[in-house]
Structure 1
């Protein structure tokens, strides 16, 4: 629980997202909330960095994938200059790699696009007070992740992320994309994106070739 004193002014919010319709929807939601004030919008990470200095927001709602500068890199740079800003990542990506990268960058919260309005408002208020708030599905996976032993040694296929090695191991066991998605609690699209990345990093063109590389590496 945060010991920070409550803000004695409306929470000043900067929205950083490259989708105009999403920004407009957030503005409408926040405009009817007395204790929140949208002070600016950024359509890319570079603009978010500049506006964070110009406007001095209390909270930045940050997307991950944006042009010029990613939301993760923008988060690192903003917090290096303004460590008191609360950054709430709101993204369509719920995979562990992005969640952990956001945490390492210093984000105080991580919600998914499509979250209920009351959940988003609660997230803004929480990070404004220095607290952490994660989407329920992400919080459950974080607890599960930290409570289980590491299954795959990081020295095997070091060019892959831990999540990619985990998915490759399941591919080698004959699991289909839907089964992998259910097992890891990921969207099938996220699984497909990881598999595309695996193929690219291993320079293979099929699941069979990827499995062969995995077996050769001792996975």
Structure 2
């Protein structure tokens, strides 16, 4: 199955370079390009691509605002691209609904991999990004007064899966930790996301920490 992509960056050379890399793949097609956030949102609404790659700094509507608009009314997965390795960008982009965060100096193979991973609904949080997210949650003291809606509906096993998701474990490691099959893990992950109203695994990571289900800096869960 071909993965459709909308690519948005206000620098034409950068945009063209990424487009050439992606279009060279047999399973990826860039269906539209945009030079600003507003055009990116319109392109996504028109083409309904699987993945949108958005620069975080664009004229008019920036990448974070565009991500928020795209995630509000489409099923498109958003991957943020930037030259700025800053914690506030990571946090804001993920909370806007982005499925991943990559620096523009990403290697060719990693860019292609990111598109495929985002399309599959997997996490694009590298360990260093996960650590920064956790550190930011701690620094901001972001802990809602009540558990998120649906948390009480999770079974004991689904709660375990959410904790392991919060620690950034892939399905294979979750399966090993719980001594179950990969298929069973996929089912549990799907149930967790559905019951909590989460778009993807990235939001599950945020939910696990912000709900206090995991204590940052500790391997223990509550």
Give the TM-score range, shorter chain: 0.5 to 0.7
- Structure 1 counterpart SS, 2:7: strand
Q: By how many angstroms is 1:144 displaced?
A: 5.0
User: Distance between the aligned counterparts of 1:27 and 1:111, measured in 2?
Assistant: 16
User: Distance between the aligned counterparts of 2:12 and 2:27, measured in 1?
Assistant: 23
Gaps of 5+ in 2: 143-222
- Structure 1 counterpart SS, 2:78: strand
User: Could you tell me which residue of structure 1 aligns to residue 153 of structure 2?
Assistant: none
User: Could you tell me which residue of structure 2 aligns to residue 95 of structure 1?
Assistant: 86
Structure 1 position 105 matched with structure 2 position 83? no
User: Distance between the aligned counterparts of 1:115 and 1:98, measured in 2?
Assistant: 17
Q: 2:119 aligns with which of 128, 131, 134?
A: 128
After superposition, the CA RMSD in angstroms is 1.9
Structure 1 position 69 matched with structure 2 position 37? no
User: Could you tell me which residue of structure 2 aligns to residue 29 of structure 1?
Assistant: 21
Cα shift readout 1:87-116 (whole Å, capped 9, x = no counterpart): 000111221111000010000000101011
Q: Which runs of 4+ in 1 moved over 6 A?
A: none
Gaps of 5+ in 1: 1-8, 155-219
Shift of the 104–31 alpha-carbon distance from structure 1 to 2, 3 Å rule, reads same
Structure 1 position 81 matched with structure 2 position 73? yes
Q: By how many angstroms is 1:139 displaced?
A: 3.5
TM-score, normalised with respect to structure 1: 0.60
Paired residues for 1:153-168 under 5 Å: none
Paired residues for 1:1-219 under 5 Å: 9-82=1-74, 84-135=75-126, 137-143=128-134, 145=136, 149-150=138-139
Shift of the 47–135 alpha-carbon distance from structure 1 to 2, 3 Å rule, reads same
